[in-house]
Amino acid sequence: MNASRSLAVAATAAVLALPACGASQEPPASTRVPTPGTAASAPGTTVAAASGSADIFPGASWERTDPGAAGLDPVKLEAIARDAGASQSTCLAVFRDGKLVADWYWNGTTADTPQEAFSVTKSFTSTLVGIAQDEGRLRIEDKASAYLPAWVGTPSDGVTLKDLLSNTSGRHWDLVTDYVTLTNAPDKVAFAVGLGQDTAPGRTWAYNNAAIQTFSAILRKATGEDAAAYAKRRLFDPIGMDHSAITHDQAGNTLMYMGLQSTCLDMGRFGHLLLHGGSWNGRQVVSRAYVEAATGRASQDLNGAYGYLFWVNRPGRMAGATHPATVGVDDGRPVVQWVPGAPEDMFWAAGVGGQTIQIDPGTRTVVTRIGSVNTPEGIPVFDRKGTARVVTEALVRR
C-alpha cells in the first residue's frame, strides 16, 4: 500500500464509528512461527547487567523462549491470538525479559513484511525529539516559531515544542481538516504550518495530526537532516530495526504523525528500548529522563491518558482521538484509566485500527500488533485492550 492510499484509509477509519462489541470467531488462515523451548543465544545476542539482573538485548535476531519458561500461559496466549486473527491482525508478537515468547502472522505477511503502523509513528517522532534534545539541538521548552519562521509574530508564536508533543498547542483542529484535507495535501508541512490558531496553548487538548506534522520542519531545522534519515541513523540502526523506515509525502517531507513502515519484531525492539529507559546494550540512545517524562505520566491536565505522543494508563480525565477537551468546558469528566484493570505504569504507542506497541515495565513485557483498519462488522478492534490481556490474563508468574 502506497503512502497516499494508507493515508486515505486511515482518514476514513478515523471518522467512522467502530462497533463496541462483537462475538469472537476463528481467525482466518494464519502462519504461526513456532516457539520452541529456550534456545541458545542467537548470533550477536548480548547480555548486559542492569539493575541487578541480566538484561538480554537481541542481536541480528531475537532469542526465543517458550511461554511456560517466560511465565505466561500458552493456552491463554493462543486464545488472545485467535481473537487478534479474527480482528484482521496481520501480526502479533509477545516479548518478555528480552526474549521472543510467541509471534503470529496472518493474511500473507511474514516476520519481515513491513506494514503501515499509522499513529504508532507519533511515538517515534517523540523519541526523535528526545534524541535531538539530548544532543543539544533543541529544547522542548523552545518556541516552535524558532524553527518555523512563519509563526513569528502570529497567535502561534507562543506555542512550544512541549505543547506540540502534548497535543495542547491550540492549533486549528477539526475532523475534516485533520483527516481529509491534510491527507490529500501533497505538501503536508506547508499545509500544517499554514493553519491558524484556535485557542491559546494549554487551553485545549486535541489529537492534532497537522500540528504533529510540523515536526518534520522542526527536526530538519534543528538537526540539519531529513527526519527519516535522522531516525535511521540515530534510532533504527542502533537498535537493529532493519525492516523499518519512515516515509515521505509528495513534497519530500518526512511524515511525522503516521508513515512508519515496520514489522512486529522491529517494533518489539523499540518497545524493548523504552523498557530499558532508552538504553540499548550499554548505549543510551535516548535519555532515561526523556523516556520517563514522555511515558511515565500525563504531560498535561486535560487528558490523563497522554504523555509526549505516547498513551499512558495513569488515572485521569480522558479525551479521545476524535474528541478534544477544553479547559472550563470538559472539566467534569470522570477519572478513569485508558485500560481499566491494566497496570498504571503500562504505556503504548498506538494507531488507528489497533496498531500497537505495548510496554509494561512492571512485568518486563512488550506486545506488538499490526493489522488492517477495516475490522469485520461485529468484531471488536483488537487494540490496547486486547494486547493488555497478555498481562491481565496470560501472565502466571511475575
Confidence (pLDDT) at 55 = 85
Nine cell digits for residue 80: 488472545
Confidence (pLDDT) at 45 = 35
Q: Which CATH superfamily is domain 112-371 in?
A: DD-peptidase/beta-lactamase superfamily (3.40.710.10)
Residue in the structure block whose three cell numbers are 522542548 = 140
The CA–CA distances, whole Å, from 171 to 58, 143, 168, 195 equal: 41, 14, 8, 7
Confidence (pLDDT) at 54 = 52
3-state secondary structure of 106: strand
Q: In 378-394, which positions are buried (b, 16+ CB within 10 angstroms) versus exposed (e)?
A: ebbbbbbbbbbbbbeeb
Confidence (pLDDT) at 41 = 30
Confidence (pLDDT) at 29 = 37
> Which DSSP letter does residue 162 get?
H
Confidence (pLDDT) at 376 = 84
Confidence (pLDDT) at 182 = 98
Strand order in the sheet with 115-116: 115-116, 260-262, 245-246
Confidence (pLDDT) at 11 = 55
Q: How many CB atoms lie within 10 A of CB 182?
A: 21
Confidence (pLDDT) at 42 = 33
Residue 99, beta-bridge partner list: 96
Q: What is the CA radius of gyration of the chain?
A: 20
The model's pLDDT over 229-260, given as tens digits with 9 standing for 90+, comes to: 999 999 999 999 999 999 999 999 999 999 99
Q: Helix/strand/coil (H, E, C) string of 266-333? A: HHHHHHHHHHCCCEECCEECCCHHHHHHHHCCCCCCCCCCECCCCEECCCEECCECCECEECCCCCCC
* Strand ranges, E, within the chain: 30-33, 46-50, 53-57, 89-96, 99-106, 115-116, 204-205, 245-246, 260-262, 279-280, 283-284, 311-312, 316-317, 325-326, 335-336, 347-351, 355-360, 365-371
pLDDT of the chain, 398 residues: tens digit per residue: 444 444 555 554 444 433 333 333 333 334 444 333 323 233 333 333 333 335 899 999 999 999 999 999 999 999 999 999 999 999 999 999 999 999 999 999 999 999 999 999 999 999 999 999 999 999 999 999 999 999 999 999 999 999 999 999 999 999 999 999 999 999 999 999 999 999 999 999 999 999 999 999 999 999 999 999 999 999 999 999 999 999 999 999 999 999 999 999 999 999 999 999 999 999 999 999 999 999 999 999 999 999 999 999 999 999 999 999 999 999 999 999 999 999 999 999 999 999 999 999 999 999 999 999 988 889 999 999 999 999 999 999 98
Q: What is the pTM of this model?
A: 0.90
